[in-house]
Amino acid sequence: MTDSKMLPDRPRSDGRAVNQLRNIRFENGVAPNAAGSTLVHWGNTRVICAATIEEVVPRWMKEQQVPGGWITAEYSMLPYSTTDRKARDISKGRLDGRSSEIQRLIGRSLRAALDLTKLGQRTLWLDCDVLQADGGTRTAAITGAWVALNLAIRKLGSAGKLTTNPIIEQVAAASVGIVEGRPLLDLCYVEDAAADVDMNLVMTASGKFIELQGSGEESTFSRSELDQLLEVGRTGIEQILELQRAALT
Amino acid sequence: MTDSKMLPDRPRSDGRAVNQLRNIRFENGVAPNAAGSTLVHWGNTRVICAATIEEVVPRWMKEQQVPGGWITAEYSMLPYSTTDRKARDISKGRLDGRSSEIQRLIGRSLRAALDLTKLGQRTLWLDCDVLQADGGTRTAAITGAWVALNLAIRKLGSAGKLTTNPIIEQVAAASVGIVEGRPLLDLCYVEDAAADVDMNLVMTASGKFIELQGSGEESTFSRSELDQLLEVGRTGIEQILELQRAALT
Amino acid sequence: MTDSKMLPDRPRSDGRAVNQLRNIRFENGVAPNAAGSTLVHWGNTRVICAATIEEVVPRWMKEQQVPGGWITAEYSMLPYSTTDRKARDISKGRLDGRSSEIQRLIGRSLRAALDLTKLGQRTLWLDCDVLQADGGTRTAAITGAWVALNLAIRKLGSAGKLTTNPIIEQVAAASVGIVEGRPLLDLCYVEDAAADVDMNLVMTASGKFIELQGSGEESTFSRSELDQLLEVGRTGIEQILELQRAALT
Amino acid sequence: MTDSKMLPDRPRSDGRAVNQLRNIRFENGVAPNAAGSTLVHWGNTRVICAATIEEVVPRWMKEQQVPGGWITAEYSMLPYSTTDRKARDISKGRLDGRSSEIQRLIGRSLRAALDLTKLGQRTLWLDCDVLQADGGTRTAAITGAWVALNLAIRKLGSAGKLTTNPIIEQVAAASVGIVEGRPLLDLCYVEDAAADVDMNLVMTASGKFIELQGSGEESTFSRSELDQLLEVGRTGIEQILELQRAALT
Amino acid sequence: MTDSKMLPDRPRSDGRAVNQLRNIRFENGVAPNAAGSTLVHWGNTRVICAATIEEVVPRWMKEQQVPGGWITAEYSMLPYSTTDRKARDISKGRLDGRSSEIQRLIGRSLRAALDLTKLGQRTLWLDCDVLQADGGTRTAAITGAWVALNLAIRKLGSAGKLTTNPIIEQVAAASVGIVEGRPLLDLCYVEDAAADVDMNLVMTASGKFIELQGSGEESTFSRSELDQLLEVGRTGIEQILELQRAALT
Amino acid sequence: MTDSKMLPDRPRSDGRAVNQLRNIRFENGVAPNAAGSTLVHWGNTRVICAATIEEVVPRWMKEQQVPGGWITAEYSMLPYSTTDRKARDISKGRLDGRSSEIQRLIGRSLRAALDLTKLGQRTLWLDCDVLQADGGTRTAAITGAWVALNLAIRKLGSAGKLTTNPIIEQVAAASVGIVEGRPLLDLCYVEDAAADVDMNLVMTASGKFIELQGSGEESTFSRSELDQLLEVGRTGIEQILELQRAALT
């Protein structure tokens, strides 16, 4: 981290305050064939989150006779989501490492939201496709996936396919980071590219952590910097949780 | 083709007349990082069409010193576009044959719309991603790709990167087919699945053909049936061309 | 299409008349381990067509309990079939798009030739490998595949594995195109490369269409040009059908 | 996390105290063709860490004219490292997601240890191959990679290929977790499988964080639990840093 | 090896004497676009051997500035060459190990036939595609590749592209094996499947060895058995060399 | 082979006599999770050989109801085993041909060592990973695999999973070659690179051959040279067999 002594009230690149989220809204039903879907608008970032249901469980669950269901996630950036066109995975012949890492994170985060034993013997797929990338796509994906998941669970419930509600946690995510010496909430792309420290928090409505991933981007951070980031992130996530709830009423 | 004697005025599955298009509208700018983009709503079918620009030409053009630029297309169905989730190409490790065929068709169709020598030494990528599939995704993709292409060309023009307008043709596409003995315009999925003959037409505003692909789906069709389908398709495409023009004003 | 005013009696590159086929002959039994095989000599184009039988149906047929059998085709150009060596698909790691498109066309065309419910629960593979490419490989492949299919069906019949003959149509294919303003039958490579319009017709002995694929190669064509091409193609296919019958007697 | 009230002095599965590391030792020079190598013995976990040097930088560095060098890491589990044989990546045709995630973590962690501009125009590869897996392979890999990196830098230095020492941080890693209500240092496999919370810390000799990844394994954790884990991890890493230094004298 | 005491004059499955070759003939020019080609008929085994020329050398030769040219071979079994259809490599996504091994053997064998420095800066591809498999496909491939190679070298010579003849050895191959206690020359498929020992010899007209690969198929063989096989093989190869020469006059 | 007249007593590059092996020792138990493992030190060549057991047989054995078990081998060079880093197979997307060939050789050689019908319905995997390459990795791999196989069979025996000992042969391998006119035993890398003839012998304690692969490396060899190589190899293998036995006591 640079030790530059920035004035704390210097405006951010897009005019926000240090602890201010970008505008976030959910456009539900964008993919009507899915069991649940939402297009998350998160500043200039846009992510399609869709939940689909397969009435089978993965082979390893069958073989090990694990009861209940499973949640699995896939994440991809559409080729036109970035300013320079991004080649499709299939053109390169392999899933890129970053996408693989992110979809594993989404899967773990959302599995913590459910009591999988109450899901029934089915797999819930959470697909997150980035339509426009301006930083924070993974936190937007997790946050939107929770909304899509709820819409799908409702649909299963209405169809009489669930005996009890399997949802046990409300889950949202936010990014925080240290940019030019200041802890910032919800980094956009230019901030993310300039960040010394980059952290993603996945938390529940009960204020607990599900995932916490902090990285000094070829740099380091101290314990007190960590504490500041956790505090900034917590307050951001509280607001996001509220927006999720509003999107489902 | 079955030789059933259907009453010509029997309503279609969705209530349309035999020569009636579904509702078609274009939601431009859906992917702002692209040079041009539109979300085509075509009945229940939805396709994201985005044009992006790379300031290089393919290797074979460089090696053979072909002047001008190139247009290439990619087509994909998002996993949640179908009622049963469709596995991603990268999960199966290969592009499926149908997608490969469709993206080649889109590319050929749009290359006919441009004087490539006036495009400059650049590649125009046309990505078509199906958000919801209800029949006619390839014709929606071609039709929308032409809109996205125009938006991108305008952007290039505004940026002073083109000396003359390379667009020489307006291009639109429609599907026609014979279902239970009747030639129908613009088949939705249930009609497509029941069709004895399935035909895709790509035509220009000047009334000429760019592509014509007719297939007796494990069946055959006569010359007079072909003539009827061409006529139904021609009138449909005339209306679609008008909607395209409206979307660009 | 160029509007050049060519004399209609100008000889073609290989001296043929505009509506004249190249020499076509079938060398049956070239691959004795196949159930049926033929090497199609079509001018300088040579395609090995072989039918093999697997006593299972594809998984999707089993799962959906579709009665009867299936036909599937694979098409490939041998590396030495072109003047510049063509790398094998496995060396490039993927089936090229053109081959994928052609093998789907062959499969659809030949499925229309059979009553699949009378084939029994088996898969008939039609492999078409191009030994020498000089234009028209896909039409030669379809035409030869029908011969190989018949040889295989005969063998199944002789072995007492069929109760009734499943063949319901005789199927042949021809290419037509517009080159320097003239509609030509059966394009060789140099004509194909120069063609403004390129069309492949798959027709039955009863004069009906199975497949019809016309493409203005980065160009367009009018309705009257289409009509001329259909007429030229029809007369060519009639001759090809006769040659097929001769090859099976 | 379960709220079981365990006695804090209950012995661990292998008899260790809650804040006690397993035995750790480094067997340097195990792969003499590498520029630097060490076999980390970490309890029953064994990881080969090898640094090799390529006198080129990645293509993107050349294209963007980024000065200095690069560090990249690869992680793999040898098939016989687990009790049930693990199929090789090449047999499955794809790198598994977990390995991809870990090798990205190793790369980021070690890049923070170096001033890349002082490395010269070369790539330092850090290969980590697990010979025996008993939990903590990623922290063993990072810790050993730092040792191998130092050996390789020494070799470069001795060969007169470096003008200044590029190493700016000493880097080590440890895992911590909450198992049956107790925060434990350095989880072995059976503890890892039973953990409610699993965290990996990568820290420097100066007590700063490089990476921090905590995950409620389909569970959640509170802020106070996080604080306890960070404290336990910090003391563990201090001991590991000392062992690294000893291994290099 | 079984210790059965067979009468030495017991006829072979196809009536041949123990040291008798199958009928071998070469049908040259089967793939006219190749620089040289031959279809080897070897009993019921049929292999297309084609030589094509690329006017570049492999990257490693350029980088290491190795003078002269290169020979590389590819081997594949066409799907209909076996009695049960063999899936294409591209369908399985990988070259099978046996094919990989055989094509490496063909390449090494033929490189020994040439003074590569006299070939000029070009690559000679030797493609061997099995049209019908009845044992001995690799020896037929090597033997035919030498014929195809000669035809290609002649063509290069006629075109004035070679200053001296690069061919330094005549190369042919034969299989030998021990079946039911008897050393046999040129095993057909049923003999090969029953063989205790299987050996492939690649030899020159000067009686020297290029390659020698013997394998106790899950069995062993003694020195005296080896000597017998070498003698049987030598006499067989002498006859094959004569047939090659006849095929080139 | 060059006909240079070298003095037979000229010392080898590493000072050995022409028929002298490098130092060979076995470090057993290097991968404790395997059923049997050994690290072969063979001069500067080091290969990890590990045997693991899967309680299933390959699909083809099940389908064809072949009794008993199976042995399969995999061979790989670790990236840091060579002086220039060798990219992993998974990075290149394909197993390289040489590795494929070697692992097939190891598998065949070891299957000859066992009565597979006495192994029970299980698969024995033999993984050979090269830690350091200095010539002779395939012969070291076969030799070490036999040791690892024995350790695994002992473990199965101790666990009461075998009724009789399935091992029927002791198997070892050595390389021989002709370098500058002299037949040499056990070639190191510099000798291997300079060899005119390269031969690998796999033999049993009873003095019989399992595999014999000789290759004139773009050269040829005579019958008398072959005889010399076989004799030099036989005496070398006798010593190696003794070292194997010592490693298992």
Angstroms from F97 CA to nearest CA on chain E: 6
Q: F85: which DSSP letter?
A: P
With a CB cutoff of 8 Å and minimum separation 6, the contacts of F156 are F35, F53, F120, F162
Test D101 with A101 for CB contact under 8 angstroms.
yes
Q: Which of C95, C215, C222 sits opposite B108 (nearest CB)?
A: C215
How far is E225 from F209, CA to CA, in rounded Å? 10
Query: Could you read off the pLDDT of D75-101 as tens digits, one per residue?
Result: 999 999 999 999 999 888 888 899 999
Q: Which of F108, F208, F218 sits opposite E215 (nearest CB)?
A: F108
CATH of C4-247, one of 1.10.3720.10, 3.30.230.70, 3.30.70.890, 3.40.50.1100: 3.30.230.70
Amino acid letter for position F198: D
CB D185 within 8 Å of CB D174 = yes
Which residue of B lies nearest to A84 if distances are taken between CA atoms?
A: B54
Put simply, the chain E residues between 64 and 103 with a CB less than 8 A from any chain C CB are 74, 76, 78-85, 88-91, 94-95
Secondary structure percentages of chain F, helix, strand, coil, to 5: 35, 30, 40
Please check the confidence at residue F53 and state whether its pLDDT lies above 60. Answer: yes
Which residue of A lies nearest to B99 if distances are taken between CA atoms?
A: A90
Test D212 with A211 for CB contact under 8 angstroms.
no
How far is F20 from C91, CA to CA, in rounded Å? 42
pLDDT for D8 equals 56
How far is C196 from C3, CA to CA, in rounded Å? 11
Test D208 with A216 for CB contact under 8 angstroms.
yes
Distance of alpha carbon C146 from the chain centroid: 8
Average pLDDT over residues C123-140: 98
Please name the helix (run of DSSP H) or strand (run of DSSP E) that holds residue C107, with its range, or none. Answer: helix C97-111
How does DSSP assign chain A, residue by residue?
Answer: -------TTPPPTTS--TT-PPPEEEEETSSTTSSEEEEEEETTEEEEEEEEEESS--HHHHHTT--S-EEEEEEEE-GGGSSSPPPPHHHHTS--HHHHHHHHHHHHHHHTTB-GGGS-S-EEEEEEEEEE-SS-HHHHHHHHHHHHHHHHHHHHHHTT--SS--B---EEEEEEEEETTEEEES--HHHHHH-SEEEEEEEETTS-EEEEEEEETTS-B-HHHHHHHHHHHHHHHHHHHHHHHHHT-
Query: What is the domain partition of chain E in residue ranges?
Result: 4-247
Please check the confidence at residue E9 and state whether its pLDDT lies above 70. Answer: no
Query: What's chain F's length in residues?
Result: 249
Chains A and E touch (3+ CB pairs under 8 A): no
Phi and psi (nearest 5°) for B66? -75, 130
CB D131 within 8 Å of CB D79 = no
Amino acid letter for position C246: A
CA distances (Å), C212 to each of B214, B220, C135, C200, F121, in order?
5, 11, 17, 6, 55
Q: Which of E98, E208, E222 sits opposite F208 (nearest CB)?
A: E222
Who has greater pLDDT, C123 or C5? C123
Percent of chain E residues topping a pLDDT of 70: 96
Query: Could you read off the pLDDT of C8-53 as tens digits, one per residue?
Result: 567 898 999 999 999 999 999 999 999 999 999 999 999 999 999 9
How far is A79 from A132, CA to CA, in rounded Å? 9
Query: Could you read off the pLDDT of E224-238 as tens digits, one per residue?
Result: 999 999 999 999 999
pLDDT for B1 equals 39
Token reading at D222 = 């509170």
Angstroms from E19 CA to nearest CA on chain C: 26
pLDDT for C44 equals 97
Please name the helix (run of DSSP H) or strand (run of DSSP E) that holds residue C70, with its range, or none. Answer: strand C70-77
Average pLDDT over residues E174-200: 96
Look over chain A and give the mean of its residue pLDDT values, rounded to a whole number: 94
pLDDT for C10 equals 77
Average pLDDT over residues E211-226: 92
In this prediction, the answer to ipTM > 0.95 reads no
Angstroms from B211 CA to nearest CA on chain C: 5
Token reading at D168 = 């700016």
Pick from E101, D88, A94: nearest CA to C93: A94
Could you tell me where the beta strands, DSSP code E, fall in D84-157? 123-132
Q: Which residues of C touch E53 (CB under 8 A)?
A: 85
Please check the confidence at residue B3 and state whether its pLDDT lies above 60. Answer: no
pLDDT for F88 equals 94
Please check the confidence at residue C6 and state whether its pLDDT lies above 70. Answer: no
CB B69 within 8 Å of CB B122 = yes
CB D81 within 8 Å of CB D130 = yes
Which chains have at least 3 CB atom pairs separated by less than 8 Å from chain C?
B, E
Query: What's chain B's length in residues?
Result: 249
Q: Which residues of A touch D98 (CB under 8 A)?
A: 104
Please check the confidence at residue E7 and state whether its pLDDT lies above 60. Answer: no
Least confident of A6-20, C166-180, E204-218: A6-20
pLDDT for A10 equals 77
Which chains have at least 3 CB atom pairs separated by less than 8 Å from chain D?
A, F
Who has greater pLDDT, C219 or B238? B238
Could you tell me where the beta strands, DSSP code E, fall in chain B? 24-28, 36-42, 45-54, 70-77, 123-132, 171-179, 182-185, 197-204, 209-216
CB B156 within 8 Å of CB B165 = no
CB F114 within 8 Å of CB F166 = yes
Chains C and D touch (3+ CB pairs under 8 A): no
pLDDT for C160 equals 94
Test A50 with B79 for CB contact under 8 angstroms.
yes
Token reading at E186 = 């040129």
Which chains have at least 3 CB atom pairs separated by less than 8 Å from chain F?
D, E
pLDDT for F1 equals 39
pLDDT for A171 equals 98
How does DSSP assign F103-156, residue by residue?
Answer: HHHHHHHHHTTB-GGGS-S-EEEEEEEEEE-SS-HHHHHHHHHHHHHHHHHHHH
Report helix, strand or coil for E47: strand
How does DSSP assign A143-203, residue by residue?
Answer: HHHHHHHHHHHHHHHHTT--SS--B---EEEEEEEEETTEEEES--HHHHHH-SEEEEEEE
Given the structure tokens 């900034």, which residue do they identify? A232
Q: Which residues pair with F72 in a beta bridge?
A: F125
Which residue of D lies nearest to A171 if distances are taken between CA atoms?
A: D220
Look over chain F and give the mean of its residue pLDDT values, rounded to a whole number: 94
Q: For an interface test with D, which of F28, F33, F41, F53 has the most D Cβ atoms less than 10 Å from its Cβ? A: F33
Who has greater pLDDT, B124 or F10? B124
Q: For an interface test with E, which of C74, C80, C94, C125 has the most E Cβ atoms less than 10 Å from its Cβ? A: C80
pLDDT for F9 equals 65
pLDDT for D5 equals 47
Contact pairs from chain A to chain B, CB under 8 Å: 92
Angstroms from A184 CA to nearest CA on chain B: 25
Query: Could you read off the pLDDT of C91-113 as tens digits, one per residue?
Result: 888 888 999 999 999 999 999 99
Q: How confident is the model at residue B9 (pLDDT cuts 50, 70, 90)?
A: low
pLDDT for F219 equals 83
With a CB cutoff of 8 Å and minimum separation 6, the contacts of C162 are C118, C119, C120, C153, C156
Q: What is the dihedral of CA E152, E158, E163, E166, to 10 degrees?
A: 20
Query: Could you read off the pLDDT of B201-231 as tens digits, one per residue?
Result: 999 999 999 999 999 877 899 999 999 999 9
Query: Could you read off the pLDDT of F168-225 as tens digits, one per residue?
Result: 999 999 999 999 999 999 999 999 999 999 999 999 999 999 999 999 877 899 999 9
Please check the confidence at residue E104 and state whether its pLDDT lies above 50. Answer: yes
Which chains have at least 3 CB atom pairs separated by less than 8 Å from chain A?
B, D
Token reading at C12 = 């073609």
pLDDT for F99 equals 95
Q: How confident is the model at residue A1 (pLDDT cuts 50, 70, 90)?
A: very low
Please check the confidence at residue A7 and state whether its pLDDT lies above 70. Answer: no
* Count of beta carbons in the 10 Å neighbourhood of residue C96: 16
Exposure string over C220-244, b if 16+ CB within 10 A, otherwise e: bbeeebbeebbebbbebbebbbebb
Pick from C6, C11, C20, C5: nearest CA to C232: C20
Query: Could you read off the pLDDT of C200-232 as tens digits, one per residue?
Result: 999 999 999 999 999 987 789 999 999 999 999
Test B215 with C219 for CB contact under 8 angstroms.
no
Report helix, strand or coil for E60: helix
Pick from A47, A41, A5, A2: nearest CA to A23: A41
Query: Could you read off the pLDDT of A62-78 as tens digits, one per residue?
Result: 999 999 999 999 999 99
Average pLDDT over residues E120-126: 96
Q: F56: which DSSP letter?
A: S
Task: Please state whether beta strands F70-77 and F123-132 pair in parallel, antiparallel, or not at all (unpaired).
Answer: parallel
Test C74 with E88 for CB contact under 8 angstroms.
yes
pLDDT for C11 equals 82
pLDDT for E94 equals 85
